[in-house]
A and B are shown apart, each in its own frame.
Chain A
Amino acid sequence: MAEEKKLKTLATGDKTIPPEGAKMIPIYIMGREYVVPETLTIMKAVEYAGYSYVRGCGCRGGICGACGTFYRFIGDYRLRSGLACQTVAEPNMIIMQLPFFPANRPGYDLEKMQGAPHEELRRLYPEVFKCVGCGTCTRTCPMDIDVMDYIALMKRGDLKGAAIKSFDCVMCGLCASRCPAQISQFTAAMFVRRVYGKYILPKAAHVKKRVDEVRSGKYEKMLDELMSMKQEDVKKLYVEREREPDLAESGKWMPKETKNL
């Protein structure tokens, strides 16, 4: 009974129960004042105020890009941005989430590039080459990506550099929403990363080889044998299996037992 009572006072799941005497702070959700406990993220503060998300909320862990948010502090001209699930609500924050922003995303066929990759980029995204270099995208990015820099690399034809520089992108679209040259940086970067992954990064020969082996049906027999074995025999094989050393060099290391490779 006592335990049950104790449990009831616990916050469960993602619902927040502020402690007695928690310091309350004013925030302004799309201009409307609410008072919420300090230390919450913007997302949890908005929920605490009584909003139920349909848009503008996804993984709640900083990787899906659903909760891009702009905010200002009262009395401060600067426009700031962040992910609602990762940014702590502070007093006098005026908050607006941007759950969606229209982006230019021309379709393409990755298997049939019409020219060299950088020419294809120019054909699909000519606006990339009109970047005015203002740096607003970089200042806006909630993932701290130097967006303007990867756009510059694209302009120079350095797709490898642009792919690597843009890798952390969560595609929230905040960069595109602020671009005076009307570039959809994050969709152009998506195209560049796939082109890089497919055509510029060297292929893994060992994967191709293994695919041929799988397609030949080589492993089906071995697996059938395991599946039809008695459980204690499988257990024995499991316990006795050889562990590849952590620092072994891939492609060079071979186990003692090679029958089932």
Chain B
Amino acid sequence: MSGYTTVLSELIKKAEATRPARVEKARKGEHFPALTMEQRQQWLKKYHPDYKSDGRRKLLIGPNKGMELPEEVASLIESRSRLNTKAVDLKKADYETDLLVIGAGGAGTAAALVAQELGLKVLVSTKLRHGDSNTVMAEGGIQGATQEGDSPYFHYLDVIGGGHFSNAPALAAALTNDAPLIINWLEDLGMMFDKAPSGRMKVRHGGGTCRKRMHSSGDMTGAEIMRVLRDEARNRDNDIKMLEFSPAVELILDSTGKAAGAVLYNLETKEYYVVRAKAVVVATGGFGRLHIQGFPTTNHYGATADGIVMAYRAGAKLQDLDSTQYHPTGAIFPEQNVGLLITEKVRGLGAQLLNVDGEQFCFPLEPRDVESACVIRECLDIGKGVVTPTGRFGVWLDSPMIDLLHGEGTVRKELPAKYIQFKRYDIDISRVPMLIYPTLHYQNGGIQIDEWSRTGIDGLFSAGEVSGGVHGRNRLMGNSLLDVLVFGRRAGLKAAEYAKSAKTGSPLSLKHVDDFNKEIEGAGIRSAGVSPILLPDYAPDHVKARQIV
């Protein structure tokens, strides 16, 4: 019948057995009771990864000493440098440039383009290929108040309300005020927006928006943005030099404490290079591939928080880095779909969540963080999760209810991309349920910046998911693509101004790295690893056991 194993197919029968009664109740408008406000808090505190204290600890060193962070992030930050700083010859720069941009996703590329327009020579360091980033994976759209019935004022209200009023107001204002400029810039660069024949942008609502301002390019908006920006940067390769597979591993300061470059590491030849620059933009993205508390992720292979690590050692402050967005319904089977986002729309259309016995255990449309907590509770505490052939826990998302409730063909019409994604593996989601589990989606916090992407260290700018404050503790759909471009462009602009006017050229220094290593020792951290880790390690245990050299 399907791509499910025999064992799972047997379990599906339990869900099928309870389905007619559930559909009957749903038709009558009866639903599983939602949690009370008190229960929500209890569930969140007990089961949401952000609230669990046992997966978190306080930072022992650095500018944010005492800040509570997920264990994985804290350990990464309190790791030693990869560099033997004594062996690095800072007197001889391998590359000299006006601006060094670290990271070549949406934010880094936007910064490079703007700085180049202002006359700078730009060197871009990137860990993988140009464009390998979460930007390329963003599907739904990019917000911007471009329609007559909307304005940055209302966009601002949506952003700050969605962030539970924890956003930095100046950053939210910059984000929303620049948004129409960004849409216009992309249009001028030849992006294929979804438009009406008149040229008017097609716009939709997103979760938590009061106006329709989600601009899109099919269901691959981020990919289209990235390939357009990359193509434009390639047209300017006289001034924008791209170093692929050469991530930065430490920032370089000068003797006066200003950012003055970085040490890069060629992943293939294993060489280190010294870059001297008048200004530096950090745009390295988020931490999804740290798999906080073992969660799968929707993130790109390179999302290992390198920029956070380097900037913290150089003295930059962090904020809200303990806040992570988990999407309640990530695919957990088949293996090739693990981490894949299953849109909220599936539940909006009436699909319920079921445990291994085919029973409902929560109201399907709780707020995202609460819904995630319910699923985690059912699997890890109650013990009624479904175990997949690859050893993962999940619960059923009963998508066949949708056609029963709204008529044959609704799934295929309303959820075409998801339908195809599962059909590819012989799973017809209009006939059989999906297996889901919360998935790590977005790093809400990061390096503290002001509205011009300045970090507090002279000459060091930061943009995109690596920075915090823009979205507060919760981000709305369509604002991350906007974020990377708004603050990427602002970083490029201010970095260019800075590079032209600031007094640069003092001797280069890695003293901050030595100092940080000493601080680790001083704090008695014995188990310190080495970071940035650059790439996640997916070698299985049976291989590791033989890697004995």
Give A contacts to B, CB under 8 Å: 3, 6-7, 9-19, 22, 37, 39-41, 44, 47-50, 52-55, 57-61, 63-64, 66, 85-86, 88, 105, 107-110, 163, 167-168, 170-171, 190-191, 193-199, 201-208, 210-211, 213-215, 219-220, 222-224, 226-227, 231, 234-235, 237-239, 241-244, 246, 248, 250-251, 253-255, 260-261
Are A15 and B203 in contact (CB-based, < 8 A)? no
Task: Give Cα distance in the complex from A16 to B267, angstroms.
Answer: 25
Query: B339: which A residues are within 8 A, CB to CB?
Result: 14, 60-61
Are A194 and B177 in contact (CB-based, < 8 A)? no
Are B132 and A64 in contact (CB-based, < 8 A)? yes
Determine how close the nearest CB of chain B comes to the CB of A60; give it in whole angstroms: 6
Are A194 and B129 in contact (CB-based, < 8 A)? no
The answer to whether A222 and B152 touch (CB under 8 A), given A39-B335, A48-B540, A241-B210, is yes
B537 within 8 A of A: yes
Task: Give Cα distance in the complex from A47 to B298, angstroms.
Answer: 18
Query: B201: which A residues are within 8 A, CB to CB?
Result: 204, 206-207, 250
Tell me the residues in window 106-161 of chain B with beta carbons closer than 8 Å to chain A beta carbons.
128-129, 131-132, 136-137, 145-154, 156-158, 160-161
Partner of B228, one of A17, A57, A194, A202: A194
Are B231 and A58 in contact (CB-based, < 8 A)? no
The answer to whether A107 and B235 touch (CB under 8 A), given A214-B152, A226-B156, is yes
Give B contacts to A, CB under 8 Å: 128-129, 131-132, 136-137, 145-154, 156-158, 160-161, 165, 169-170, 173, 176-178, 180-181, 183-184, 187-193, 195-203, 205, 210-212, 218, 220, 223-224, 227-228, 231-232, 234-235, 237, 245, 267-268, 289, 291, 294-298, 300-302, 334-336, 338-340, 380-381, 389-393, 424-425, 535-540, 543, 547
The contact sample of 7 A-B pairs, CB cut-off 8 A, is A12-B291, A53-B301, A66-B128, A196-B192, A205-B199, A223-B152, A248-B149
Task: Give Cα distance in the complex from A12 to B294, angstroms.
Answer: 5
Determine how close the nearest CB of chain B comes to the CB of A212; give it in whole angstroms: 10
Query: B149: which A residues are within 8 A, CB to CB?
Result: 244, 248, 253-255, 261
Partner of B294, one of A10, A85, A234: A10
Are A16 and B540 in contact (CB-based, < 8 A)? yes
Partner of A251, one of B154, B165, B200, B228: B200
Determine how close the nearest CB of chain B comes to the CB of A51; give it in whole angstroms: 8
Chain B residue, CB-CB nearest to A4 = B54
Partner of B300, one of A9, A47, A58, A222: A58
Partner of B380, one of A6, A48, A66, A243: A6
Are B198 and A202 in contact (CB-based, < 8 A)? yes
Chain A residue, CB-CB nearest to B176 = A223
Are A210 and B146 in contact (CB-based, < 8 A)? yes
Determine how close the nearest CB of chain B comes to the CB of A53; give it in whole angstroms: 7
Are A59 and B132 in contact (CB-based, < 8 A)? yes
Are B392 and A10 in contact (CB-based, < 8 A)? yes
Chain B residue, CB-CB nearest to A221 = B153
Task: Give Cα distance in the complex from A41 to B340, angstroms.
Answer: 14
The 8 closest A-B pairs by CB, nearest first: A202-B199, A194-B190, A13-B291, A12-B294, A198-B190, A197-B190, A238-B161, A50-B543
Task: Give Cα distance in the complex from A137 to B154, angstroms.
Answer: 47
Task: Give Cα distance in the complex from A18 to B223, angstroms.
Answer: 33
Query: A224: which B residues are within 8 A, CB to CB?
Result: 173
Are A59 and B393 in contact (CB-based, < 8 A)? no
Chain B residue, CB-CB nearest to A11 = B391
Chain A residue, CB-CB nearest to B188 = A198
Are A197 and B187 in contact (CB-based, < 8 A)? yes
Are A40 and B336 in contact (CB-based, < 8 A)? yes
Are A193 and B335 in contact (CB-based, < 8 A)? no
Are B335 and A237 in contact (CB-based, < 8 A)? no
In this complex, the member of A64, A107, A226 whose beta carbon has the largest number of chain B beta carbons within 10 angstroms is A64
In this complex, the member of A12, A60, A222 whose beta carbon has the largest number of chain B beta carbons within 10 angstroms is A60
Query: B200: which A residues are within 8 A, CB to CB?
Result: 204-206, 250-251
Are A63 and B223 in contact (CB-based, < 8 A)? yes
Task: Give Cα distance in the complex from A197 to B189, angstroms.
Answer: 8
Chain B residue, CB-CB nearest to A205 = B199
Determine how close the nearest CB of chain A comes to the CB of B488; give it in whole angstroms: 18
Are A53 and B535 in contact (CB-based, < 8 A)? yes
Query: A234: which B residues are within 8 A, CB to CB?
Result: 157, 160, 165
Question: Besides A107-B235, A211-B180, 4 other CB < 8 A contacts?
Answer: A88-B336, A167-B192, A226-B156, A250-B147
Partner of B227, one of A86, A171, A219: A171
Query: A109: which B residues are within 8 A, CB to CB?
Result: 235
